[in-house]
Each structure stands twice: as C-alpha cells, then as structure tokens.
Amino acid sequence: MASTKDLLILALYGLLLELPTGCHTTDTRLPRLRLSHKELWDLNRTSVFHSPSGYLGLHTMLLDEYQERLFVGGRDLVYSLSLDRVSENYREIHWPSTPRQAEECTIKGRDADECANYIRVLHRYNRTHLLACGTGAFDPLCTFIRVGHPSEDHLFQLDWHKFERGRGRCPFDPSSSFISTLIGGELFAGLYNDYWGRDAAVLRTMGRMPHIRTEPDDERLLKEPKFVGSYMIPDNEDRDDNKVYFFFTEKALEAETGTHAIYARVGRVCANDMGGQRMLVNKWSTFLKTRLICSVPGMNGIDTHFDELEDVFLLQTRDNKNPVIFGLFNTTSNIFRGYAICVYHIASIRAAFNGPYAHKEGPEYHWSLYEGKVPYPRPGSCASKVNGGLYGTTKDYPDEAVRFARSHPLMYQPIKPVHKKPILVKTDGKYNLKQIAVDRVEAEDGQYDVLFIGTDNGIVLKVITIYNQDTESMEEVILEEMQVFKVPVPIISMEISSKRQQLYVGSESAVAQVKFHQCDMYGTACADCCLARDPYCAWDGISCSRYYPTGMQAKRRFRRQDVRHGNAAQQCFGQQLIGEALEKTEERIVYGIEYNSTLLECTPRTLQAKVIWFVQRAHEARKEEVKTDDRIVKMDLGLLFLRLHRLDAGTYFCQTVEHSIVHTVRKITLEVVEEGRVDEMFNKDYEEDIPHKMPCPAQSSIPQGSKPWYKEFLQLIGYSNFQRVEEYCEKVWCTDKRRKKLKMSPSKWKYANPQEKKARIRPEHYRLPRNIVDS
C-alpha cells in the first residue's frame, strides 16, 4: 500500500498528469466525433425550443416545408416553430380539456395528468388548414387549425366552430400506440378505439367514402398490436390501385410455441376499399398482413431474430412508387438485448403479398401453404383497371372472394431484408435505439444513406453503412455522436429536411434542430477530411467543406473524397496530409518515482484511430513496440505504469494509425527517479528545525527566503518552474479552514525534542487533493 509520502509526491505530479478511467480500445465502430450539447451549442449547430409553460409533453411533430414551419403537438398546447431556428419566432395555441371533460375523467379513476388534452394528430389537410386531434381527457376531439399561406405570417388559429368527436381518429389514452396518415381527405389510422384500450383496429374515417375498419375481436387480424408507422405507397399510375401499408408488432398466432411470440408485421389495405356487400359490411375486404423479418444468420441455420419493431422510416426516391423502407428493431429476449436496422425494397413487400396464402385447417392443424384454388379477383387486390375494370368497387366482388379474404388474412412468405441481414447491429447496451431518419447523399464514389438514430438518452448517432460484395459483409461507420439535449431524455420523434440539411428532434420536454454536418470539425488537413468518410464533406484544396456533386459550386474547386475506403494517402497525394498544427510532434519530459505509478498521457484526436506505443532506450538507435502486461496498461488517456522500474526509462513515441496514415502525436522522455534519493531528500525536512517551515504558509504566498522540501525535490528532478509549483501547492493545501489553523502560535509546530517531533507527525498535516485521496 502506498505511503503518505508516496501519495504526496503523486499529488505534485498532478501538474503533469491526471489519472484516467477506462481502457483504450481500437474499435473502429466508435464515433469519429463525439460532441457534447455545449459543443454543439458553441458551434452554432443546434437550437433548442423549450415550452414557456415549463412542460412540453410532446406527442407528435409535423414538418411542413410549404409553410416553412414545424408543428408540435404537446399537452394542452400546439406550437408552430420556425424551420430556420426553432427557438425563435414561435406561435402557440392553448387547447386544454374542458372542465367537464377533466372532471368526468378523474371520476372514472384516471390521474389528473392523464386527463389533460394531448395532441396526437397533426396532418396537413390543405394549403391553409391542419387537421388536429387531441385525447381530450379520454374523450377525443378533432378540429382544424388555420395556418393560412406562408405570406400570412401571424395566422395560427384553432377553428372553434369545427369541433367533431375524435373516436376512430385519435386514441383515448395519451400513452397508447397510434399511427395515422391523411390521404385525399381520408384518415387512415391504427389505434385502440375504446376507453379501456382493448379494441385494436385499423380504420378509415372522414372523407366521402364510408367509414370502415377491421373486424372487432378477430385475433387473426390483430392481436395486441403496437402500431409503429403507416404510409400510402402507389403501385402504379392508377390511383384506384393505391394501397396503404401499416407497420406494427403483434402476438403471432402462427408461432405455435406454446406462448404467443412477438412478430413484426406489415399490413396492407386498398385505399378505395368499400367493404363487402353481404359480408364484411363496412369492414376491410382487402386487409392482408405478413411477417417482417430482421435477423442475423447464425450457426446451423439458427438465426438471431430482432422481432419488435421500434420505428420505421420511408425514404422517398425519384420514383415515388419505389421507396426504400428502413426498420429499427429490437430483440424480445429477456437474456439477449440488442438492436438492428434492416432495409426493405417495396418490390419484396409486393412480392410477398402477391405470393401464396397461409392456411390452417383447424385448431389441431399446423399452419401451411394454401395449395387450393384462389378465387378471382385475387383477395387483397383493389377494384381498379389493373383487375380488368370488371368491378367498380369491392362491394361488387363475388362472395367467394370476400369469404376467402376473411379467412386468409395472413400471407405465407415473410419479407426478408436487403442482403438478407441487417445493415447495422448494436448489442453493446450503451443505450437503447428509439428513432430513425435517413438522408440519401450523392458522394464522389457513389450514393450513401446517412442514418440518424435517436436514443433513449438524448443522443443522435450519425452513421453510414457500406456493403462489401466480395465478403458479403457490412461495415458500420459512426461519423458523429451528438448529445442533442443537455439533460439525457428519450428521443420520441424525429423529422428530417434534406432541403434545409436539418434534423428536428423531439423529446417529452423540448424540440431541437441539428445541422446535418459541420465539415471543418474533422480537421484542417486533407487526410483529416478523407479519413472522416463523411459523404457530406470533401477536401477542396484549402479546407474540409461541404461536398456538392453537381452545379456551379461543384466546379469551383477540385474535390478529394473517398467514402468507401477512406484512402487518404491516395486522395491526398501532393496535398498536405497533416495539418500545420500537427506537423511538429509535441515533446515533453515526465518524471516518475521508482516503484510508483506513472502515466504517459496521449489522447488520439479521433476515437477511430489505433494508438501504438514505441520506446527507444538510452544509447539505442532502434525503437521497439511497447508490450503491455499486468504492470503496463494502455488506457484511454495514455500508457500507465502501475509500478515503475528503472529500466522503463527512455523516450516513448505515441503514434496513431488510421488507414495507412501514421502520425506521431507525442514524444515523451521518461526519467525514473530512484526511490532512495527521494527518501533521502524527504527525510531531510524532518531533521531540520526551522520555525517557519510549515505545510502551508499563513500568507497567500510562500515567504521569501524559505525553501520548502518540495523545492529541493524539484531541483533534484530538474523542474525549474518553481512559481507554478508554489501556486499549485497553495491551492492544494491552503483552504480557508487550514489558514485559520495556521494563525495559531508557531509553537504548535515546535517540539521539546526531535523524538517528540517525530511522534507527533501525522499524515493529516500533509493534506492531499481529494482526487488523490479518493483514488
């Protein structure tokens, strides 16, 4: 165990060292940049909106590029925020539950907080109005909000004359899962449609067509679903053939495992479904669903499945009939916890719905592929010209086709992701992934999908994934880890604007906007920029700046970028590989006491770089790599010697290696001071009887003419900055309480004889910094 003297010596080294925590790692999946909330703020990269009422209670966000506004639904409030800067020029509508609603809600046993009006529905109804619905103290209501045209800057009003009951459009419970999409004045929703949250349904309300829903109490259609997302995706140019897709998670009847397993699903209905004529009246006659698979292939054909769908994002392409779907999944296992992102082409989803149906003869039979005759028109197809135009509506369908659709809602073939595996898997348990948004970027060497992933602690990850066709493997590159909110809170909503290059992030307490990129943060040299592998950024010959694939800005300067390989050596040939500030290797001298702990501090500029230590012994020309063991440990902040030996003396080189770029970050000369010489110097203080030699001087600085023991020690090791050490020692030892004690008579520090003096010396007289004592 270290003596008090050893700890005191170590306190002096606080001028040079700080003990690290954690172990160094060379995991390339670490973020290249890790930005705190303060750093984002200082860089003017973020803006945050907090509700003036103190609590936002956010439940939904609507990004409206036409109005240039972000509409936010919270508790008793609707906000209109500027897309340029969410914290400025906001507008507010106060829409609480009525006193009668709140009173009836509490009488029924609900908490007062639940009996507020939580805005769950915000959709653009037309160019001048929004559709808005709130829970209304478990009595949902809907109305319109007048927003006018963009030129009408101050128009943001609730239409108090258009209130309607919101059942079937908005959930009763503020916390229940819910999805909706508005198409041509028709609202398609997946929700629990009753007060007690038992009636799960997919519905169509509003508009000119009849209201329609799934059959209640039919577990073949929905069994305890958690709704995640819904989108209208056209199949072709015929609007009558448009279909609405619902993404959800539910208990699966076909699992046959004794207990109901959880499966991710995609369901589909025709947008113009009118129900049946004699059966399925006012019920969906085109509802189909199938399993959405996201799994990692394993040994012996046993895959690891991620079955619970957390979020889904629809990435629009130039062809609106062929978007790309990104799903964020987690595991349902109590033993293994992990997250995965899978990508699906709409063609694969259509193929599954056009494939065979699942069939079960009876309770004692297993699910199997249906091999019988399928009636015409094919169940699940729409009444459109694609079907030959023989049927005007689904009400005209033959009873046989409607009956088959009612008894066979499940498709036999599941939907598998692109590459038949996830593009990203996270199992480190550092945080839970909650939201996903995607931006497609044109880079010098191809097209990349940049993933923005929201977590449960207010962090947004910016990630790209690169598929290697030769090895059929996926490389994950985390570009940035951004602490968007000052206080770690779950991210519950994200909206993305590729036009503005902005991400809008919502939590229960605040809304933040973050710029997609800030290229100059990667460094001041060509290599820094190319090694970052950010498709938004390229080296333009002067700095790391925004990459423009086309247009006048693209021709202004040449561009150096290699996202796929990050080959800076090739891209930066003839350019400045290393920034001017780093051309000269930092050099320093560190003194260590024999048999004590010493840290050689060296922090790489990026977490993705691999750190290698070399040592050059005295009178030796060659360098050798430092071998770590139980005594010498690589730390996050450098190389730690737990017990220093004389033979450890030498010159140490801290080098970072990244994609063949090697840079010597720091050169450290380690001098080892023999323990015997320190003991000799330390004991000299006790043998002399000097009245004014106290652990802490009574004045604010050390009196002239005094020569405390630590000055002799510093002369021994050759450290000449006495003034800095004096200031440091006073800061460590001279607290106000200590100063009061030192005002006592100097006789306190004198003793009748040396033996008495030695007996009275206690470690408390040499107060140590708290961080040293705690360690």
pLDDT in tens, 79-90: 999 999 999 999
Amino acid (one-letter) located at 267 = G
Is the confidence at residue 205, as pLDDT, over 70? yes
Task: Phi first, then psi: give them for residue 323, nearest 5 degrees.
Answer: -75, 170
In this structure, the answer to whether residues 686 and 751 fall within a common structural domain is yes
Q: What confidence score (pLDDT) does residue 705 get?
A: 47
Is the confidence at residue 544, as pLDDT, over 60? yes
Q: Spell out the residues 6+ positions from residue 54 whose beta carbon is closer than 8 angstroms to its own.
A: none
Residue whose structure tokens are 């005191």: 8
| CB atoms inside a 10 Å sphere around CB 747 | 8
**Using CA atoms, how far apart are residues 145 and 96, in angstroms rounded to an integer?**
15
Which residues share a beta bridge with 145? 130, 158
**Using CA atoms, how far apart are residues 443 and 550, in angstroms rounded to an integer?**
10
Q: How does pLDDT run across 110-126, given as a tens digit for each residue?
A: 999 999 999 999 999 99
Q: Is residue 369 part of a domain?
A: no
CB distance 314 to 328 below 8 Å: no
The average pLDDT across 234-260 equals 88
**Using CA atoms, how far apart are residues 223 and 263, in angstroms rounded to an integer?**
11
* Helices 722-733 + 709-717 axis angle, to 10: 140
**Using CA atoms, how far apart are residues 329 and 433, in angstroms rounded to an integer?**
9
Domain count, the chain: 3
**Using CA atoms, how far apart are residues 423 and 295, in angstroms rounded to an integer?**
10
Q: What confidence score (pLDDT) does residue 691 get?
A: 47
Q: Is residue 207 part of a domain?
A: no
Band (pLDDT 50/70/90 cuts) for residue 770 is very low
In this structure, the answer to whether residues 656 and 686 fall within a common structural domain is no
Looking at 53-149, list the stretches that DSSP marks H as alpha helix, in order from N- to C-terminal side.
99-107
Is the confidence at residue 376, as pLDDT, over 90? yes
Return the H-helix or E-strand segment holding 680: helix 675-687
- Measured in whole angstroms, the distance separating CA 335 from the mean position of its chain's CA atoms is 23
Q: What confidence score (pLDDT) does residue 258 get?
A: 57
In this structure, the answer to whether residues 698 and 769 fall within a common structural domain is yes
In this structure, the answer to whether residues 620 and 657 fall within a common structural domain is yes
Q: What confidence score (pLDDT) does residue 87 get?
A: 95
Walk across the sheet containing 586-593 and list its strands: 586-593, 661-673, 650-658, 610-616, 624-625
**Ramachandran region, residue 659 (left: φ > 0; alpha: ψ -120 to 50; beta: rest):** left
Band (pLDDT 50/70/90 cuts) for residue 62 is very high
Between 614 and 688, the more confident residue is 614
DSSP 247-273: EEEEEEEEEEESEEEEEEEEEEEETT-
The average pLDDT across 331-357 equals 93
CB distance 267 to 202 below 8 Å: yes
Q: Tokens in use for 767?
A: 């107060």
Q: How does pLDDT run across 501-530, given as a tens digit for each residue?
A: 999 999 999 999 999 999 999 988 898 899
Is the confidence at residue 350, as pLDDT, over 80? yes
Q: Is residue 567 part of a domain?
A: yes
Q: What confidence score (pLDDT) does residue 470 get?
A: 86
Q: What confidence score (pLDDT) does residue 734 get?
A: 53
Q: Is residue 419 part of a domain?
A: no
Q: Is residue 391 part of a domain?
A: no
How wide is the angle at C-alpha 557 spanned by C-alphas 552 and 559, nearest 5°? 105
Q: How does pLDDT run across 678-702, given as a tens digit for each residue?
A: 777 666 655 554 444 444 544 444 4
**Using CA atoms, how far apart are residues 83 and 88, in angstroms rounded to an integer?**
10
Amino acid (one-letter) located at 288 = L
Last-in-domain residue among 673, 699, 727: 673
**Using CA atoms, how far apart are residues 758 and 212, in angstroms rounded to an integer?**
94
Looking at 291-446, list the stretches that DSSP marks H as alpha helix, in order from N- to C-terminal side.
346-353, 399-407
The average pLDDT across 311-330 equals 96
In this structure, the answer to whether residues 596 and 669 fall within a common structural domain is yes
Q: Tokens in use for 430?
A: 């550092």
Looking at 196-297, list the stretches that DSSP marks H as alpha helix, in order from N- to C-terminal side.
none
Which residues share a beta bridge with 47? 513
Q: Spell out the residues 6+ positions from residue 305 whose beta carbon is closer than 8 angstroms to its own.
A: 293, 294, 295, 331
Is the confidence at residue 558, as pLDDT, over 60? yes
Q: What confidence score (pLDDT) does residue 508 get?
A: 95
Return the H-helix or E-strand segment holding 188: strand 186-192
CB distance 60 to 479 below 8 Å: no
Q: How does pLDDT run across 137-192, given as a tens digit for each residue?
A: 999 999 999 999 887 777 999 998 889 999 999 999 999 999 999 999 999 999 99
Is the confidence at residue 21, as pLDDT, over 60? no
Q: Tokens in use for 396?
A: 């005209």
Between 555 and 539, the more confident residue is 539
pTM, to two decimals: 0.81
Q: Spell out the residues 6+ positions from residue 513 whose beta carbon is closer than 8 angstroms to its own.
A: 46, 47, 48, 83, 85, 86, 502, 503, 504, 505
What range defines the domain where residue 703 resides? 678-774
| CB atoms inside a 10 Å sphere around CB 225 | 23
In this structure, the answer to whether residues 563 and 622 fall within a common structural domain is no
Is the confidence at residue 28, as pLDDT, over 90? no
Q: Is residue 384 part of a domain?
A: no
Last-in-domain residue among 673, 705, 726: 673
User: With pLDDT > 90 as the criterion, what percentage of the chain qualifies?
Assistant: 65
Q: What confidence score (pLDDT) does residue 119 get?
A: 98
CA distances from 434 to 40, 118, 328 (A): 21, 21, 8
Last-in-domain residue among 532, 550, 571: 571
The average pLDDT across 203-230 equals 96
Kindly report the average pLDDT of the chain as a whole number.
84
Q: Are strands 226-233 and 69-73 parallel, antiparallel or unpaired?
A: unpaired
Band (pLDDT 50/70/90 cuts) for residue 338 is very high
Q: What CATH number does residue 617 fall under?
A: 2.60.40.10
In this structure, the answer to whether residues 706 and 729 fall within a common structural domain is yes
Half-sphere exposure of 735 (CA within 13 A, CB side): 9
- Measured in whole angstroms, the distance separating CA 65 from the mean position of its chain's CA atoms is 25
3-class secondary structure, 99: helix
Q: What would the 3-class secondary structure string for 128-161 be? A: CEEEEEECCCCCCEEEEEECCCCCCCCCCEECCC
Q: Is residue 495 part of a domain?
A: no
Q: What confidence score (pLDDT) does residue 773 get?
A: 37
Half-sphere exposure of 602 (CA within 13 A, CB side): 30
The average pLDDT across 98-105 equals 94
User: With pLDDT > 70 as the criterion, what percentage of the chain qualifies?
Assistant: 81
CB distance 480 to 463 below 8 Å: no
**Using CA atoms, how far apart are residues 285 and 406, in angstroms rounded to an integer?**
7
**Using CA atoms, how far apart are residues 138 and 242, in angstroms rounded to an integer?**
33
Q: Spell out the residues 6+ positions from residue 692 whose beta carbon is closer than 8 angstroms to its own.
A: 703, 706, 746
Q: Tokens in use for 180?
A: 């909706």
Band (pLDDT 50/70/90 cuts) for residue 98 is very high
How many residues make up the chain in this entry? 775
In this structure, the answer to whether residues 663 and 610 fall within a common structural domain is yes
Q: What confidence score (pLDDT) does residue 578 get?
A: 54
In this structure, the answer to whether residues 684 and 668 fall within a common structural domain is no
Which residues share a beta bridge with 651? 616, 669
Q: Tokens in use for 164?
A: 């309607």
Q: Tokens in use for 647?
A: 């033979």
Q: What confidence score (pLDDT) does residue 549 get?
A: 83
Band (pLDDT 50/70/90 cuts) for residue 256 is low
Q: What confidence score (pLDDT) does residue 342 get?
A: 98
Q: How does pLDDT run across 621-673, given as a tens digit for each residue?
A: 899 999 999 999 998 889 999 999 999 999 999 998 887 788 888 999 999 99
Number of H helices and E strands in the chain, helices first, is 14, 44
In this structure, the answer to whether residues 611 and 562 fall within a common structural domain is no
Q: How does pLDDT run across 402-456, given as a tens digit for each residue?
A: 999 999 999 999 999 999 999 999 998 888 999 999 999 999 989 999 999 999 9
Cis bond before residue 535 (omega within 30° of 0): no
Band (pLDDT 50/70/90 cuts) for residue 328 is very high
Return the H-helix or E-strand segment holding 760: helix 754-760
Band (pLDDT 50/70/90 cuts) for residue 584 is low
Q: Is residue 280 part of a domain?
A: no
Is the confidence at residue 264, as pLDDT, over 90? yes
CB distance 485 to 38 below 8 Å: no
In this structure, the answer to whether residues 686 and 768 fall within a common structural domain is yes
- Measured in whole angstroms, the distance separating CA 2 from the mean position of its chain's CA atoms is 43
Q: How does pLDDT run across 467-483, given as a tens digit for each residue?
A: 998 888 899 999 999 99
Which residues share a beta bridge with 81? 70
Q: What confidence score (pLDDT) does residue 345 get?
A: 97
In this structure, the answer to whether residues 688 and 653 fall within a common structural domain is no
Q: What CATH number does residue 553 fall under?
A: 3.30.1680.10
Q: How does pLDDT run across 706-754, given as a tens digit for each residue?
A: 455 455 545 444 444 445 445 545 554 554 444 445 444 444 333 334 4
Is the confidence at residue 248, as pLDDT, over 70? yes
Q: What confidence score (pLDDT) does residue 18 get?
A: 33
Is the confidence at residue 774, as pLDDT, over 50? no
Q: How does pLDDT run across 278-318, given as a tens digit for each residue?
A: 999 999 999 999 999 999 988 877 889 999 999 999 999 99
**Using CA atoms, how far apart are residues 492 and 434, in angstroms rounded to an integer?**
7
